[in-house]
């Protein structure tokens, strides 16, 4: 069974600071996703990365995928209060013979950005 470990579990910073959160897997990722979840809502997909060493940018967010495809980081530049939320990493595994898969999630990093 794949285990995804995210760190830190909680992070509280001031507006304007930079931060990095991490996701490590006990096995190679099939397809890594990062989600953000706000209180009372479902997770919203931020990015999907597949290739080892891949770097993707989404405005102030930078996602890195390790060369060995077992770890990933999310870096936020100049954090804003609107970035507050639970950041989850996940892997989609596709059962043999099917066209779609289930996701395995880490427990997330709860980020609070204070104004």
Partner 1 sequence: NAGVMQNPRHLVRRRGQEARLRCSPMKGHSHVYWYRQLPEEGLKFMVYLQKENIIDESGMPKERFSAEFPKEGPSILRIQQVVRGDSAAYFCASSPQVGDQPQHFGDGTRLSIL
Instruction: Give a three-class secondary structure readout of 4-34.
Output: EEEECCEEEEECCCCEEEEEEECCCCCCEEE
The nearer residue to partner 1, 61 or 90, going by C-beta atoms, is: 90
Shortest reach from residue 31's CB to partner 1, in Å: 7
* Single residue of 28, 45, 55, 68 touching partner 1 by CB under 8 A: 45
According to DSSP, residue 100 is labeled -
27 is a contact residue toward partner 1 (CB under 8 A):
no
The nearer residue to partner 1, 58 or 78, going by C-beta atoms, is: 58
From the list 26, 69, 74, 28, the residue with the least C-alpha distance to 51 is 69
Measuring CA to CA, how many Å separate 8 from each of 2, 12, 23, 59, 70? 19, 10, 9, 22, 17
Site for partner 1 in 5-24 (CB under 8 A): 6, 9
Site for partner 1 in 88-107 (CB under 8 A): 88, 90, 92, 94-95, 98-107
Calpha distance 63→84 (Å, rounded): 17
42 is a contact residue toward partner 1 (CB under 8 A):
yes
Which residues in this chain contact partner 1 in the complex, by CB under 8 A? 4, 6, 9, 31, 33, 40-45, 48, 88, 90, 92, 94-95, 98-108, 110
């Amino acid at each position: 069974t794949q285990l995804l470990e995210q760190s830190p579990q909680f992070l509280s910073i001031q507006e304007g600071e930079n931060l990095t959160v991490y996701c490590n897997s006990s096995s190679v990722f099939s397809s890594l996703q990062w989600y953000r979840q706000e209180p009372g809502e479902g997770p919203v997909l931020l990015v999907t990365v597949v290739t080892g060493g891949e770097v993707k940018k989404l405005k102030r967010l930078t996602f890195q995928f390790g060369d060995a495809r077992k770890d990933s980081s999310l870096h936020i530049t100049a954090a804003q209060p609107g970035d507050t939320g639970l950041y989850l990493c996940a892997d989609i595994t596709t059962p043999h013979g099917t066209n779609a898969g289930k996701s395995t999630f880490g427990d997330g990093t709860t980020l609070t950005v204070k104004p």
